[in-house]
Amino acid sequence: MSRSYISKQNLDFISWNDDLDPSQLINCDYTEYYFDGSYSEFESEKCEPSKVTETKTMTRYAMRLLIKISTLLLCIIDVRTECIAPPPCTCNHGNVNCFNLGLTEVPRFTASSESFDSISIDLSRNQIKKLSNNAFFNIATTNATDVEIDLSNNYISEIEEFAFHGIEPDLTSLWLQDNNISRVQLSSGCGALCLQVLNLYNNPIDDFDDILHTVADCMEYLLIGGNVSYPWPSNLQLMTKLKSLQFKGFTEQSIPENAFRSFHSTLTGLTIENSHLTSIPQAVCNLPFLDFFLFHGNTKIKEVRSLVPSCSSQLNSVTSLELSDNHLLEFPDVFKTFPNLTSLKVSGNPNMTYIRESIFANISLTGLDISYNGFTRIPQALNNLTRLPNLFMRHNRIKSLEKDIFPVKDIYLVDFRYNPIIHIADDAFDHDKNMVSLFLDGAAVTSFPKAFRVLDKITSISFWDNHIVCNCSMKWLLSEWPHYDKVAITGSCRNINMTISSYIIYDLPKCP
């Protein structure tokens, strides 16, 4: 039922929207009136009795009359935004939502009488098989100079040459990943095509040179590749403005050393996924402004010690490096090439159990993620880090947290989720008094750890999917951990139907 929210103080019409939260409008003079004549009253903590009495004396019939007048006015004034796409698609200003509607073709867009600076059209997760000529022609009537179209996760196998005719100069982003496209030929028609973002991931394209030749002029963010082998696209050399390149499924074991030459001064992000490369390509050394580098799922690595290239000059610009799911057997020495890293992720290597102590000597990080590896204890090498605020070690094989596990003084967040931890020493966190958040979900400890006593700054401890037995043996925390009532402790007791937090608050004080 549609509702109108009206303030008693001035009887102004406030909203015509089911999504409005009445609690946002509550004050001591506020009464919520509905179109069926019913109402409810809210009193704030500071309401004066006289004002509340005055509110309750409001004549209900007068309000019904006012509501009827408001209804008539709302029927006369059509506040809906014109939609250029037919139902079941919906529009919200410049956003056209046709997501997951079972469409088998691009809807017939109508000419628009409204103008927008930008238009975003979501046609993802449908059953569209073909993009016909002039499919988006009427989008030009919106006068938008920034058009984004998402056609990902469809069944598109054919794109006619003039499918985007009419919006070529304004089409800036095109998402075509996860389709059946084997060939893309985009004509610029009467206008210059100026795509800035193009995603062609997971399409059976075996030669990208034709499409790259068409879109090279303005391209800034490019995602290509999939599960089909393809040669290194030579037309990448036509791109001079590329800021981010992501390529997937490249089946050659190496790429040309000058592969990134034309955009070496603009590229800041590089992702290489699921390739047959046997090491990080030497071409990376020619990217002096690279900031983020992800090397993921490249399982053909032959020798870990030759994984990272030796560059003539260190890549000082790289601050974030992710080496995940590469099935490495040992931790690579990445800091010789990337000395200024602040964020490092080396995860998804189930046979990695050891880190050489010298690797982290005099290194400062803001975040280290070594999850989904085979570590059975906290690596001793972490002791050499001068700074490590955030550590992620999810899904390893750690069974025990022993004394002084983190000599690093400024560690704030530690994530041990889903390690088979059965023991936490009482002095495990004695050097980690600045810790703020601790995640122990999925551990196997049965008693509430006394190691928490020294954590005076901690604000949250997560214990979901755990084995904590809640009983009077926990009474120590009432006297020995003065900070306990300021900590958000999540998780449930194993032996009773209560959360750990509820047990501490309501039942633990009753213990003798």
User: Could you tell me the residue ranges of all domains in the chain?
Assistant: 5-76, 83-242, 267-352, 355-512
Which pLDDT does position 408 carry in this prediction?
A: 67
Contact, 188 vs 168, CB < 8 A? yes
Pairing of strands 367-369, 244-248: unpaired
* Domains 83-242 and 355-512 fall in the same CATH topology: yes
60, containing H or E segment: helix 60-76
Residue 306's SS3 state is helix
212, containing H or E segment: helix 209-215
Sign of CA dihedral 89, 92, 94, 97: negative
- Cβ neighbours around 363 below 10 Å, total: 18
Angle 81-86-89 (CA atoms, 0-180°, nearest 5)?
75
pLDDT tens for 462-484 read: 999 999 999 999 999 999 998 89
CATH number of 83-242: 3.80.10.10
Residue 379's SS3 state is coil
Residue-by-residue pLDDT tens, the chain, 512 positions: 333 222 222 323 223 233 333 333 233 333 333 333 333 333 333 333 333 333 333 333 444 444 444 444 433 333 445 899 999 999 998 999 999 999 999 999 999 888 999 999 999 999 999 999 999 999 999 999 999 999 999 999 999 989 999 998 899 999 999 999 998 877 655 566 889 999 999 999 888 988 898 889 899 999 999 877 788 899 999 999 999 999 998 888 889 999 999 999 999 999 999 999 999 999 999 999 999 999 999 999 978 888 999 999 999 999 999 999 999 999 999 999 999 999 999 999 999 999 999 999 989 999 999 999 999 999 999 988 989 999 999 999 999 998 867 766 678 999 999 999 999 999 999 888 889 999 999 999 999 999 999 999 999 999 999 999 999 999 999 999 988 999 999 999 999 999 999 999 999 999 99
Level-2 CATH architecture, domain 355-512? Alpha-Beta Horseshoe (3.80)
Q: Is residue 88 reached through a cis peptide bond, with omega within 30 degrees of 0 on the bond before it?
A: yes
Residue 260 identity (one-letter amino acid)? F
The β-bridge partners of 344 are 321, 368
Tokens 């800036």 sit on residue: 172
71, containing H or E segment: helix 60-76
Kindly state the tokens that stand for 405: 């596990």
Tell me the C-alpha distance between 16 and 79, whole Å.
Answer: 10
Tell me the C-alpha distance between 258 and 231, whole Å.
Answer: 15
pTM here is: 0.80
Region of 24 on the Ramachandran plot (φ > 0 left; ψ -120 to 50 alpha; else beta)? alpha
Sign of CA dihedral 487, 488, 494, 496: positive
Tell me the C-alpha distance between 306 and 314, whole Å.
Answer: 16
Kindly state the tokens that stand for 143: 């006068």
DSSP 349: B
- Cβ neighbours around 449 below 10 Å, total: 22
Tell me the C-alpha distance between 238 and 230, whole Å.
Answer: 18
What is the DSSP track for 31-99? EEE-TTS-EEE---TT--HHHHHHHHTS-HHHHHHHHHHHHHHHHHS--PPP-SS-TT-EEETTEEE-T
Kindly state the tokens that stand for 368: 């280290």
